[in-house]
Amino acid sequence: MLCADDMLNASILIVDDQEANVQLLAQMLGDAGYRHITSTMDPHAVCALHRDNHYDLILLDLQMPGMDGFQVMDGLKEIETDGYLPVLVITAQPGHKLRALAAGAKDFINKPFDLIEVKMRIHNMLEVRLLYRQVEQYSRALESMALHDALTGLPNRRLLMDRLSLAIAHARRNKRPMAVMFLDLDGFKQINDSLGHDAGDTLLSMVAGRLVAAVRQEDTVARLGGDEFVIGLWELSHVDAAATLASKVILAVSAPYRIQGHDVRMTVSVGISIYPGHGEEAEVLMKNADLALYEAKRAGKNNYRIAASTGLL
């Protein structure tokens, strides 16, 4: 919900070629408590100003020499790609009102000004604009939560599978290998049992950071849950590159951690499957990497294994 500060901190641009009108509106807004007021008498400057500042509200005079308000709104439409123009037009021509609304303006102010009406229309429009923005931000947050792990911020399984599908399509098109690494921390349960779940969560977040730092920017590090991570390796220059990256990851994870005043050591086991030899679909590559991980665990942990050439039947 909006509070008074949200409204008063809104950014407002006044556009009018008459200095007296600019001063009157600025004074009225200042007296009402609005803190971020900008003005210009040059209609050609409006789009550049809005591109740099993304105003919550633009008070726009329709009749100005050289470039009228309708032309300014046409320029603003190229900036506001979602189609929402935060424009409240100023006009002395009754016939311009419907045209302005059809052009994208959200409301209008009549000249000469009725200051009580002006303040009410500005307040109402800002309230709608800011609530609309809050809804957008909330929707983006929900979308992010649906695609990312809440603890580490890494992609979750859903986003991982989308990324793997893209990586496979890219590898197929370029006739190059890509790979999937399945990782499991060795003895993670002992950390939870000895230091508590808060320490375990801290360790998982630290491991996540090290994994991201150890691989390339184009690769995807995801957390499936618990102490299981998956890394999707984008196009590889050669098959051996997957083993090189696995060794780098193992070394990064094995460096000591300082958690709640304790020195903590952790190792990781890694299973690797490589496209196309171990599968041509994301699910198959994941399953074969998981089988290879099991072999790495059996071999003594803190190591990697590459899937058998026959793969998963």
CATH number for the domain harbouring residue 247? 3.30.70.270
Instruction: List the one residue out of 203, 222, 211, 204 whose CA is nearest residue 252.
Output: 211
The verdict on 121 and 172 lying in the same domain is no
CA nearest to 111, candidates 87, 91, 89, 88: 91
Beta-bridge partners for 223: 229
How many domains would you assign to the chain? Answer: 2
- Domain contains 312: no
pLDDT value, residue 239: 84
What Cα–Cα distance (Å) separates residue 109 from each residue in 33, 116, 118?
20, 11, 6
Which one is catalytic: 17, 227, 240, 290? Answer: 227
Q: What is the C-alpha separation between 212 and 150, in angstroms, rounded? A: 16
Task: Annotate 177-215 with DSSP letters as a single string.
Answer: -EEEEEEEEETHHHHHHHH-HHHHHHHHHHHHHHHHHHS
Domain shared by 179 and 80, yes or no: no
pLDDT computed for residue 47 by the predictor: 94
* Residue 84 CB coordination number (10 Å): 16
Whole-angstrom CA distances from 261 to 151, 194, 199, 257 are 21, 13, 10, 10
19-54 burial, b if ≥16 CB within 10 A, otherwise e?
Answer: eebbebbbebbeeeebeebebbeebeebbebbeeee
263 is catalytic: no
Same domain, 248 and 209: yes
- Report, in angstroms and rounded to the nearest whole number, the Rg of the chain calculated over CA atoms: 29
Residues of the chain scoring pLDDT < 50: 311-313
170 and 278 fall within a common domain: yes
Contact 57, 10 (CB under 8 A): yes
Last residue of a domain, one of 144, 167, 184: 144
Q: Do 129 and 204 share a structural domain?
A: no
**Do the domain assignments include residue 149?**
no
Same domain, 75 and 213: no
Task: Give the 3-state secondary structure percentages of the chain, helix then strand then coil, rounded to 5.
Answer: 50, 20, 30
Q: What pLDDT was estimated at residue 84?
A: 82
Residue 188 lies in a domain: yes
Q: Same domain, yes or no, for 97 and 135?
A: yes
Strands 36-40 and 11-15, bridge-based pairing: parallel
Are 177 and 297 in the same domain? yes
Cβ burial of 255 (10 Å; 0-12, 13-18, 19+) is: exposed
Residue 94: predicted pLDDT: 80
Domain identity same for 166 and 301: yes
Where is the domain boundary, 144, 176, 200?
144
Q: Are residues 10 and 92 in the same domain?
A: yes
User: Do 220 and 279 sit in the same domain of this protein?
Assistant: yes
Report yes or no on 59 lying in a domain.
yes
Q: Are 259 and 198 in contact (CB under 8 A)?
A: no
Q: Report the pLDDT value the prediction gives residue 313, as an integer from 0 to 100.
A: 35
CATH number of the domain that residue 110 is part of:
3.40.50.2300
Give every CB contact of residue 200 below 8 A, 6+ residues apart in sequence.
188, 191, 192
Cβ neighbours of residue 44 under 8 Å, at least 6 residues apart? 66, 67
Residue 124 structural domain: 4-144
Q: What is the pLDDT of residue 80?
A: 86
- The residue out of 117, 144, 171 marking a domain boundary is 144
Query: What would the two tokens of residue 136 be?
Result: 């957008």
pLDDT recorded at residue 144: 66
Shared domain for 217 and 298, answered yes or no, is yes
Q: How far apart are CA 69 and CA 67, in angstroms?
A: 7
- Which amino acid, one-letter code, is at 177? P
